[in-house]
Amino acid sequence: MRAARRAALRDLLREDGLDALLVTDLLNIRYLTGFTGSNAALLLHAEGDADTVFCTDGRYTTQAAAEVPDLERVLDRASAGALVSRAATTPARYGRTGFESQYVSVEQHRTLTGRAGDVELRRAPGLVERLRLVKDETEIDALRRACAAADRALAELIEHGGLRPGRTEREVARDLESRMLDHGSEEPSFTSIVAAGANSAIPHHRPTGALLAAGDFVKLDFGATVDGYHSDMTRTLVLGPPADWQREVYELVRLAQSAGREAVRPGADVAGVDRAARDVIVGAGRGEEFSHGLGHGVGLQIHEAPSLAATGAGTLSAGMAVTVEPGVYLAGRGGVRIEDTLVVREGTPELLTLTSKELVVV
């Protein structure tokens, strides 16, 4: 699996005329090697794994042997610098070495250049991220399990009365996150959003000591992490019988979310997917109250490419994992967002977040 990813990256190196790539972003290193520690670098050679070297420090000797058994391993606290020095000993083989310039500071670049000797360090941003756009089935399975952990946690929260008047937003968030851990999550994907009443009109509200009250919308935006892969789901519920305006806004967002999901297919323009959902809300005269993009890629990061937004560029491909999350936010009253994580497939996308999108009254 990871050897295949490295082989695919080599194709990109050869296209760019590079002999090697110095990988320093830890998520990219995890993607290519499986290493999960906090200090590492990878010098990936265009000709194969025999000339590829992984470096970490002595804290991770045992861990690296277990997680990266198929590559040469060296130990050095200054991992990136050590690998550049290694390349400099055979400049004919590493003459044009790319580096992830989007992650390297000016000071770090100066240090690496000082150790490069006759090796030419070339900017090569975004190569690994191009591969990460399309998930393989191992990645999709991790995403599927992360989404299942979140689905089960929310179901338990509701079943056991965790959403009720008198609880604080913080209490609900802690309860929800604890239940995700119980169902296999390594950690929350991000700081869970629990927003009650007027706070539900704030798209990225952080939980406070505000009390849930009868008649409130309660917006829950949360996710689990499994094998490093993140889920992302939003559901909006109401405490007690909903008012007419709540039913109206909820149904509008539900229709927009359905339109967005239906637009997710291989070859679809990302701005067009955003437009499919946004046009439903605009047509109802609520366009100004949908203030963010429709969605984003999700994987080893909770927010990664592609961006499903009016300003987004590019098209979807089978195997991409994306969110679809329209919202309508009425300042001072309340708001609704409905969000799913999906995998782009030929025909109908695979829905990974399975909690019902009908309005739940608790």
pLDDT in tens, 211-227: 999 999 999 999 999 99
**DSSP designation for 296:** E
Range of the domain at 110: 2-131
Q: Are 149 and 121 contained in the same domain?
A: no
How many Cα atoms occupy the beta-carbon half-sphere of 129 within 13 Å?
Answer: 16
pLDDT of res. 56:
98
pLDDT in tens, 76-123: 999 999 999 999 999 999 999 999 999 999 999 999 999 999 999 999
pLDDT of res. 211:
98
Q: Is the dihedral of CA 29, 31, 33, 35 positive or negative?
A: positive
Per-residue burial over 272-293, b if 16 or more Cβ lie within 10 Å, else e, is ebbbbbbebbeebebeebbeeb
Helix residue ranges per DSSP H, the chain: 2-15, 26-33, 61-67, 79-88, 106-115, 127-132, 137-159, 169-182, 244-263, 270-283
CA distances from 2 to 9, 199, 233 (A): 11, 44, 28
Q: Which residue carries 């604080």 as its tokens?
A: 168
CATH of the domain at 206: 3.90.230.10
pLDDT in tens, 185-214: 999 999 999 999 999 999 999 999 999 999
Confidence class of residue 274 from pLDDT cuts 50, 70 and 90? very high
Measured distance CA(323)–CA(280) in Å, rounded? 18
Q: Are 127 and 142 contained in the same domain?
A: no
Q: Are 110 and 171 contained in the same domain?
A: no
pLDDT of res. 158:
98
Measured distance CA(319)–CA(137) in Å, rounded? 8
pLDDT of res. 267:
98
Of the candidates 110, 131, 152, which is a domain's last residue?
A: 131
Q: Are 85 and 161 contained in the same domain?
A: no
**Phi and psi of 123, rounded to 5°?**
-60, 130
Strand partners, 297: 304, 322
Q: Are 127 and 144 contained in the same domain?
A: no
Q: Are 106 and 141 contained in the same domain?
A: no
Measured distance CA(306)–CA(308) in Å, rounded? 6
pTM of the model: 0.96
Whether 357 maps to a domain, the answer reads no
Of the candidates 76, 109, 131, which is a domain's last residue?
A: 131
Of the candidates 131, 159, 185, which is a domain's last residue?
A: 131
pLDDT of res. 14:
97
CA distances from 19 to 8, 44, 67 (A): 14, 9, 25
CATH of the domain at 92: 3.40.350.10
Confidence class of residue 168 from pLDDT cuts 50, 70 and 90? very high
pLDDT of res. 335:
98
Residues 6+ apart with CB under 8 A from 244: none
Whether 356 maps to a domain, the answer reads no
Measured distance CA(352)–CA(362) in Å, rounded? 24
Q: Are 119 and 155 contained in the same domain?
A: no
Mean pLDDT of the region 125-150: 98
Report the candidate in 242, 274, 281, 4 with the shortest Cα–Cα distance to residue 131: 4
pLDDT in tens, 339-354: 999 999 999 999 999 9
Per-residue burial over 65-80, b if 16 or more Cβ lie within 10 Å, else e, is eebbeebebeebebbb
Instruction: Encode 20-52 in three state secondary structure.
Output: EEEECCHHHHHHHHCCCCCCCEEEEECCCHHHC
Q: Are strands 233-238 and 217-222 parallel, antiparallel or unpaired?
A: antiparallel
